[in-house]
Amino acid sequence: MTVTRRKFLVQLAASSGYTAAAAAMATLGLGTSVVAAAAPAAPLQLAPGSGKGLKVLVLGAGIAGLVSAYELRKAGYEVQVIEARDRVGGRNWTIRNGTRIELNDGTTQVADFEPGHYFNAGPARLPSHHQTILGYCREFGVELEAEVNTSRSAYFLPDAAKGGQPIQLRRAINDARGRISELLARATNKGALDEELNAGDRARLVEFLKVYGDLMPQAQFKGSERSGYKVFPGAAEQIGERPDPLSLDALLDPDLWTSLIFDELLIFQPTMLQPVGGMDRIPQAFHQRLKDVVRLNTEVSGIRNQSNRVEVTVRDRRSGKQQTLSADFAITTFPLPVLAKVETNFSPEVQQAISSVHYDTASKIAWQTRRFWETEYQIYGGISVVKHETALIWYPSGGFHKKTGVLVGCYNIGQVARDFTAKPLASQFASSRAVIDRVHPGRGAELQRPVSVAWHKVPYSLGAWVHWATPAEKEYTRLNQPEGRVHFAGEYLSQIGAWQEGAALSAHHAVAAIANRVAAQATSPRAA
Amino acid sequence: MTVTRRKFLVQLAASSGYTAAAAAMATLGLGTSVVAAAAPAAPLQLAPGSGKGLKVLVLGAGIAGLVSAYELRKAGYEVQVIEARDRVGGRNWTIRNGTRIELNDGTTQVADFEPGHYFNAGPARLPSHHQTILGYCREFGVELEAEVNTSRSAYFLPDAAKGGQPIQLRRAINDARGRISELLARATNKGALDEELNAGDRARLVEFLKVYGDLMPQAQFKGSERSGYKVFPGAAEQIGERPDPLSLDALLDPDLWTSLIFDELLIFQPTMLQPVGGMDRIPQAFHQRLKDVVRLNTEVSGIRNQSNRVEVTVRDRRSGKQQTLSADFAITTFPLPVLAKVETNFSPEVQQAISSVHYDTASKIAWQTRRFWETEYQIYGGISVVKHETALIWYPSGGFHKKTGVLVGCYNIGQVARDFTAKPLASQFASSRAVIDRVHPGRGAELQRPVSVAWHKVPYSLGAWVHWATPAEKEYTRLNQPEGRVHFAGEYLSQIGAWQEGAALSAHHAVAAIANRVAAQATSPRAA
């Protein structure tokens, strides 16, 4: 199912073998069969002025909160957004020169990238089909550029224990395709598919496989130009020299498989996009339009449903001053581990749902360094997958050919990330540096100015996302219903968990639910 | 072989069926076996000052000419570049508002795109491994951005005669992979590969295929999320709705196959790049550094080797004034159909080589229009392949979410392009409009301000590129040798024909050959 996709993917890259992979794939394939038929999606449309005279408190200024506030306000609601941090965006957090990273393990880092550089510690890409969040980018004029999620010049690094050398992705991907095509052509020609296919279709299939796998006329695979060159072709008599094709044995290393399918997963398919200058251009664009109603540095300590109001107790983090706010409705967008710490009069069932959902974590490391990957490796953006606790090396999609850039040297999740970030920062950085040096020998020593963000240690986030076992899990279903006058919203309440699109759509869902209540009230005889 | 790759590709897209495809693939696969072992590539390195006191005339200010002049000058040669057009760049031609397109069929078009828009009528992408031309971009500070060559949201349009509806590429690509994986798993489980693989490898292979093709636990293919949704997943209970997987029969349509492998061809693999603002930023950057030695609007009418000089007769196109220039060497970078019209005293063998090589053509059409493909189709860059004389629809890689953009509505080659561009411009535009309307119903009518460029009709180009049958073809070999004091350079004399990289490397080859002659002369006793 949808919400486990990122888990599947990063886990594959980070830690697990093919058994886990197969299990995860099965979950993916089976996910939608456990729930009822789908309803068509409809864009949010609130009647202008329909919220007039009603007040909504929006708790949290991440994407779900900002979208909620923006949409409610457009419909005439009075809105106030309460945010504990000194910035909007929540997990949409772009780190630049001077950004303080204060984790709840007592560590503090201050990024000292050169001006102009940035590091998207949270979301860092926008799939082309995430049209809700992209729609806000369009509406607000947030400038976008292609996010290069895939480079065929990048590498897969096998397990160090297997002693493997880095394998260039163009080689792994195209040799795998060639080997598979050859095997299927051979099996077909042997008669293995005579029951399934008639003679004409078998012939067409073999012709197809020759094109698909770049096979020789007799359907053998002898390597392919698609897999690249040791020496590239040049002028005059300078013909290219190709490496030998990889053996089937090398290709059947389960650690490799993610790299072969990564960019065909729906959320990672081209085209992917990113805001020019950093992902936080999106929350900034909302903030600009909501400046007068967003209250930063304000913690929520209590939420209480009353008969016809909801009361929210807040504390100004600078003055310490406490205050109780009141509104017709509230939307809480806090991650559940944060919400669990807020005192409420919610039903035991809802309190139980909030406190029992397990949040995963994720950690990222970023380095500033010379852009050696471009000049020396022909890598412009994209990801090298490493069989190592740091999981990947992610090259920047912009600023090509500039002198320096920000290289993401770790993006791990789950228990691997918890164990990894339990180590001192210096050990984390050393691990990232060492594996980058295995893929790019001699370059580890050049890496500078690292920062690490471990999401379960980030105050007011306390985690990365939820892995629901099914979209029908009872906590998911329950929290998608309001509790009294309090509605819940966040990526975790969508089928697109861990993505900003999910947060935006969940916000729409909560806003529509409030609007429907208001409309029902207005037409109800009791309200007259 | 390398130089036929574009031919193979565009032909597949434009016109041919699977027999031609298979033949072309075979050529590709076999190409390198007909020539001798490869020599390692070495970057051009001329000793500074080594050209002092020597003059070289560079004929043509396309990429090969500009690179030649730039490198010679760095080594101390006196250089003059002769260019017939009123601009540098040759086939690297970016069309903007006001650009006049005067073809030798007597037609004149003037582009009236809105300011800021551009259309790369010639080269429009830079593969990441084309490090020579990319190296100049780096050296000159030509700003680059990702060129989105592939979007999984784009389409393949089957032959109208087959009545087919557009098929989204994510669906075709991933259903094909799923079907192939299922067939191979089935054949493997039936014992078809028992001779080739031991039991352990067979089991590993089947596990791999489950991941590779997104198969069910029993290795059946029942469709994949990778193939996309009819209704995307959303918030709360909004689960996604998938289309049925495509049948094997639909996938065995040879017209489709190019679309399935396009972005795995080495020259089309991600990451691809483009200069921000238009491809001609590259020749402009050279021009800026060569301004004082480039003579525009100057036609070459004669080239004569003398015993110790080379004489070049030129004519100023504005004044009509004729003049004979003299130098120690010349490098001619004219496309051969242009060079064939120049009077020379070359040997019959060389004259024959020049006049006998067949140049292919290519034609492109560009439209300015509302960017409907983004908002309505989630297409951000990339290419839709159409089984139609116009071959493709190519969406812009930059300016995302702006109001309008330039859409390439035709890129065909060979006889298809000759036939197509023999029609009146209005018919060409109508054809392009009609097929765009088949992929994007209702949008054909919105297309505006078309321009068409047919390269065989462009004065001083007279063609697009050469398809050598093998890299050892005798004209190729001969023209990679100098004729007296005249050296030849151009993409057609490289293994990377039709690409700027080939032009740059061929220029290096010619420049190195001159430098070697000079060095040999200097150390020869006769020179003392």
pLDDT per residue as tens, chain A (528 positions) = 333 444 444 433 333 332 333 333 333 332 222 222 223 356 798 999 999 999 999 999 999 999 999 999 999 999 999 999 999 999 999 999 999 999 999 999 999 999 999 999 999 999 999 999 999 999 999 999 999 999 999 999 999 887 789 999 999 999 999 999 999 999 999 999 999 999 999 999 999 999 999 999 999 999 999 999 999 999 999 989 999 999 999 999 999 999 999 999 999 999 999 999 999 999 999 999 999 999 999 999 999 999 999 999 999 999 999 999 999 999 999 999 999 999 999 999 999 999 999 999 999 999 999 999 999 999 999 999 999 999 999 999 999 999 999 999 999 999 999 999 999 999 999 999 999 999 999 999 999 999 999 999 999 999 999 999 887 799 999 999 999 999 999 999 999 999 999 999 999 999 999 999 999 988 776 544
Residue type, A274: Q
Residue of B nearest to A210 (CA): B22
The DSSP line for A341-357 is TSEE---HHHHHHHHHP
| Angstroms from A358 CA to nearest CA on chain B | 18
Residues B459, B84: Cα–Cα separation, whole Å: 9
CB–CB of A270 and B39 under 8 A? no
CB–CB of B151 and A397 under 8 A? no
Q: Return the structure tokens found at B114.
A: 């809105």
| CB pairs A-B closer than 8 Å | 364
Residue of B nearest to A508 (CA): B235
Please report residues of B whose CB lies closer than 8 A to that of A188.
183, 187
* Contact between residue B503 and residue B494 where contact means Cβ atoms under 8 Å apart: yes
Q: Return the structure tokens found at A461.
A: 């986030």
CB–CB of B176 and A212 under 8 A? yes
* Contact between residue B252 and residue A205 where contact means Cβ atoms under 8 Å apart: yes
> For residue B240, what pLDDT is reported?
92
Please report residues of B whose CB lies closer than 8 A to that of A151.
128, 270-271
CB–CB of A211 and B146 under 8 A? no
Among candidates B227, B132, B181, B210, which has minimal Cα distance to A187? B181
- Number of Cβ within 10 Å of residue A160's Cβ equals 13
CB–CB of B235 and A186 under 8 A? no
Helix axes A5-14, A18-30, angle to 10 degrees: 170
* Contact between residue A494 and residue A267 where contact means Cβ atoms under 8 Å apart: no
| Angstroms from B275 CA to nearest CA on chain A | 10
Q: Which residue has the tokens 């004409």?
A: A200
CB–CB of B183 and A193 under 8 A? yes
Q: Which of B25, B28, B152 sits opposite A270 (nearest CB)?
A: B152
CB–CB of B270 and A382 under 8 A? yes
Residue of B nearest to A206 (CA): B252
**B386 has a pLDDT exceeding 80:** yes
DSSP for residue A277 = T
Q: Which of A144, A266, A508 sits opposite B228 (nearest CB)?
A: A266
Residue of B nearest to A30 (CA): B216
Report the residue of A196, A400, A474 to disrupt the B interface, i.e. the one with the largest count of B CBs within 10 Å.
A400
Residues B505, B496: Cα–Cα separation, whole Å: 9
Q: Is the full-model pTM beyond 0.80?
A: yes
CB–CB of B180 and A180 under 8 A? yes
For A197, the 3-state DSSP assignment is coil
For A312, the 3-state DSSP assignment is strand
CB–CB of B183 and A204 under 8 A? no
| Angstroms from B222 CA to nearest CA on chain A | 8
Q: What distances in angstroms separate CA A218 from CA A186, A222, B26, one per listed residue?
A: 10, 11, 10
pLDDT tens figures, B70-111: 999 999 999 999 999 999 999 999 999 999 999 999 999 999
CB–CB of A29 and B177 under 8 A? no
The DSSP line for B424-462 is -HHHHHHHHHHHHHHHSTT-GGG-EEEEEEEGGGSTTT-
| Angstroms from B444 CA to nearest CA on chain A | 23
State the Cα angle at A381 between A380 and A386, rounded to 5°: 115
Report the residue of B125, B260, B266 to disrupt the A interface, i.e. the one with the largest count of A CBs within 10 Å.
B266
> Between the CA atoms of A222, A225, A228 and A232, what dihedral angle is there, to the nearest 10 degrees?
120
CB–CB of A270 and B270 under 8 A? yes
| Angstroms from B81 CA to nearest CA on chain A | 21
> For residue A22, what pLDDT is reported?
32
Residues B390, B432: Cα–Cα separation, whole Å: 6
Least confidently predicted of A94-108, B130-144, B156-170: B156-170
pLDDT tens figures, B434-492: 999 999 999 999 999 999 999 999 999 999 999 998 877 999 999 999 999 999 999 99
> Between the CA atoms of A217, A220, A223 and A224, what dihedral angle is there, to the nearest 10 degrees?
40
Q: Burial letters for B467-484: b for 16+ Cβ neighbours within 10 Å, e otherwise?
A: bbebbebebbebbbebbb
Residues A509, A504: Cα–Cα separation, whole Å: 9
Residue of B nearest to A272 (CA): B380
Q: What distances in angstroms separate CA A400 from CA A405, A424, B219, B266, one per listed residue?
A: 9, 33, 43, 21
Q: Which of A134, A187, A480 sits opposite B236 (nearest CB)?
A: A480
CB–CB of B152 and A204 under 8 A? no
CB–CB of B211 and A25 under 8 A? yes
Residue of A nearest to B191 (CA): A192
Please report residues of B whose CB lies closer than 8 A to that of A260.
211-212
Q: Which of B190, B261, B397 sits opposite A192 (nearest CB)?
A: B190
* Contact between residue A392 and residue A262 where contact means Cβ atoms under 8 Å apart: no
* Contact between residue A169 and residue A257 where contact means Cβ atoms under 8 Å apart: no
Give residue A416's region: left, alpha or beta (phi > 0; psi -120 to 50).
alpha
Q: Which of B234, B398, B505 sits opposite A505 (nearest CB)?
A: B234
- Per the DSSP assignment, residues forming a β-bridge with A300 are A314
CB–CB of B269 and A480 under 8 A? no
The DSSP line for B255-276 is HHHHHHHGGGSGGGPSPEEEET
pLDDT tens figures, B301-358: 999 999 999 999 999 999 999 999 999 999 999 999 999 999 999 999 999 999 999 9
* Contact between residue B270 and residue A382 where contact means Cβ atoms under 8 Å apart: yes
CA A40 to chain centre: 24
Residues A400, A396: Cα–Cα separation, whole Å: 8
Residues B142, B89: Cα–Cα separation, whole Å: 15
Please, which residues have CB within 8 angstroms of residue A358's CB and are 6 or more apart in sequence?
Answer: A466, A467
Q: Which of A150, A197, A495 sits opposite B239 (nearest CB)?
A: A495
Residues A333, A491: Cα–Cα separation, whole Å: 9
CB–CB of A153 and B271 under 8 A? yes
Q: Return the structure tokens found at B197.
A: 């693989």
Residue type, A151: S
| Angstroms from B214 CA to nearest CA on chain A | 7
Among candidates A86, A97, A101, which has minimal Cα distance to A453? A101
CB–CB of A177 and B505 under 8 A? no
CB–CB of B238 and A39 under 8 A? yes
CB–CB of B502 and A235 under 8 A? yes
Q: Which of B38, B170, B215 sits opposite A240 (nearest CB)?
A: B38
Q: Burial letters for B213-235: b for 16+ Cβ neighbours within 10 Å, e otherwise?
A: bbbbeebebebbbbbbbeebbbb
CA B26 to chain centre: 21
CB–CB of A205 and B400 under 8 A? no
Please report residues of A whose CB lies closer than 8 A to that of B40.
231, 241
Please, which residues have CB within 8 angstroms of residue B247's CB and are 6 or more apart in sequence?
Answer: none
Residues A464, A454: Cα–Cα separation, whole Å: 9
* Contact between residue A250 and residue A273 where contact means Cβ atoms under 8 Å apart: no
* Contact between residue B362 and residue B108 where contact means Cβ atoms under 8 Å apart: no
Q: Pairing between strand B55-59 and B382-386? A: unpaired
**Residue length of chain B:** 528
Q: Burial letters for B51-63: b for 16+ Cβ neighbours within 10 Å, e otherwise?
A: beebbbbbbbbbb
| Angstroms from A176 CA to nearest CA on chain B | 10
| Angstroms from B2 CA to nearest CA on chain A | 8
Residues A473, A495: Cα–Cα separation, whole Å: 12
Question: What φ, ψ does residue B356 adopt, rounded to 5°?
Answer: -95, -15
Give the residue-averaged pLDDT of B513-528: 81
Q: Return the structure tokens found at A469.
A: 């076992």
ipTM for the assembly: 0.92
Residues A433, A425: Cα–Cα separation, whole Å: 12
Please report residues of A whose CB lies closer than 8 A to that of B495.
233-235, 238-240
Among candidates B519, B374, B463, which has minimal Cα distance to B7? B463
Q: Which of B201, B214, B401 sits opposite A252 (nearest CB)?
A: B201
Q: Return the structure tokens found at B178.
A: 């799923």
